[in-house]
């Protein structure tokens, strides 16, 4: 089966290779010609000549936001056969997903939002968490492709996957900032970061930031999680808008968005998301690394 794949960044590059390893013929496209060259060197992956050249029964996008997905879709939809499924695996706003679905329906094409959670290594190994949402028939048509990438969770109607992805990333951002904050306080009392993490991770405060991000990407001094701060901030803003729309109290979400916005302004567009810890270290006047 042929699959089109647009977006070959840290996640998409591994995902397209994983699909090829599972027997799919994958046509790929990205604005970065070098990323396309690297992907096409993998058996089963070929470079599409242009956006219409991605046409296939299932087309996967792993792009920065809904605007980028819409740009690809505008050029792609006229080239697609009715019954095609477009799967947006990136982090788009739910409203963008619903609008794309309405436009695609005019071409007889279905849209599934199935954002993913996991690392670039998990993308390559097919161990992602997929938050799949949309029409049942469309999900069934994309199930083989999605199952090759990881574990599928069917979470609801169109847009629900992107809503859950943004809310999950908001929680992830809260956890990262909170772990760094308490560890910096512990550092002021002479506690060693490795000791703090050992105890926290054996106790009720443990979370993904304490178990993975801090030990692997902060204490190591690499700050290289592979997920840009600007993309995390985009998801935080989407989640904050959803919280506002829901009308409930959201003090943690509001505080998190404000903190990450300040960090993003000072750290710059190319910063990794875990560099928010470096920003907190600078504010505290102490480092977590020995």
The chain-wide mean pLDDT, for the chain, equals 96
pLDDT at residue 289, rounded to an integer = 85
pLDDT at residue 269, rounded to an integer = 81
Structure tokens at 122: 């998990």
Q: What is the pLDDT of residues 78-130, one digit of tens each?
A: 999 999 999 999 999 999 999 999 999 999 999 999 999 999 999 999 999 99
pLDDT at residue 21, rounded to an integer = 98
Return the exposure string of 33-48: e unless at least 16 CB atoms fall within 10 Å of the residue's CB, then b: eebbebbbebebbbeb
Q: Given the DSSP bridges, would you call strands 2-6 and 25-29 parallel, antiparallel or unpaired?
A: parallel
pLDDT at residue 112, rounded to an integer = 98
Q: What is the pTM of this model?
A: 0.94
Q: In what helix (H) or strand (E) does residue 182 lie, and over which residues does it extend?
A: helix 160-188
pLDDT at residue 263, rounded to an integer = 96
Residues 6 or more apart whose Cβ sits within 8 Å of residue 59: 3, 4, 5, 6, 76, 80, 84, 85, 86, 87
pLDDT at residue 13, rounded to an integer = 97
Q: In what helix (H) or strand (E) does residue 47 lie, and over which residues does it extend?
A: strand 45-47
Closest CA relative to residue 177, chosen from 213, 204, 203: 213
pLDDT at residue 248, rounded to an integer = 84
3-class DSSP state of 160? helix
Q: Catalytic residue positions?
A: 165
Chain Cα centroid distance, residue 116: 6
The pLDDT of 239-251, averaged and rounded, is 94
The pLDDT of 231-236, averaged and rounded, is 96
For residue 199, what are the β-bridge partners?
A: none
Residues of the chain with pLDDT > 90, as a percent, come to 98
The pLDDT of 18-24, averaged and rounded, is 98
For residue 117, what are the β-bridge partners?
A: 129
State yes or no: pLDDT of 249 exceeds 70.
yes
3-state secondary structure 85-150: EEEECCCCCHHHHHHHHHHHHCCCCEEEECCEECCHHHHHHCCEEEEEECCHHHHHHHHHHHHHHE
């Amino acid at each position: 089966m042929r699959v089109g794949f647009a977006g070959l960044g840290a996640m998409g590059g591994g995902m397209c290779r994983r699909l090829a390893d599972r027997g799919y013929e994958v046509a790929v496209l990205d604005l970065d010609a070098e990323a396309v060259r690297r992907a096409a060197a993998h058996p089963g992956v070929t470079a599409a000549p242009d956006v219409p050249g991605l046409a296939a029964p299932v087309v996967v996008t792993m792009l920065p936001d809904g605007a980028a997905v819409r740009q690809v879709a505008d050029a792609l939809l006229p080239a697609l056969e009715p019954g095609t499924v477009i799967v947006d695996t990136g982090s788009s706003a739910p409203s963008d997903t619903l609008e794309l679905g309405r436009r695609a329906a005019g071409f007889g094409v279905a849209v599934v939002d199935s954002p993913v959670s996991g690392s670039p290594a998990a993308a390559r190994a097919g161990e992602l968490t997929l938050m799949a949402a949309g029409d049942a028939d469309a999900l069934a048509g994309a199930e083989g492709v999605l199952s090759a990438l990881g574990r599928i969770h069917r979470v609801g109607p169109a847009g629900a996957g992107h809503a859950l992805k943004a809310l999950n990333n908001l929680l992830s951002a809260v956890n990262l900032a909170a772990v760094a904050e308490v560890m910096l306080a512990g550092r002021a009392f002479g506690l060693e970061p490795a000791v703090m993490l050992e105890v926290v991770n054996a106790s009720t405060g443990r979370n993904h930031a304490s178990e993975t991000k801090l030990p692997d990407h902060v204490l190591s001094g690499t700050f290289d999680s592979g997920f840009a701060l600007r993309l995390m901030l985009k998801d935080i803003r989407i989640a904050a808008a959803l919280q506002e729309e829901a009308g409930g109290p959201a003090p943690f979400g509001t505080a998190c968005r404000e903190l990450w916005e300040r960090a993003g302004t000072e750290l710059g567009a190319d910063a990794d998301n875990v560099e928010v810890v470096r920003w907190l270290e600078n504010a505290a006047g102490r480092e977590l690394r020995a």
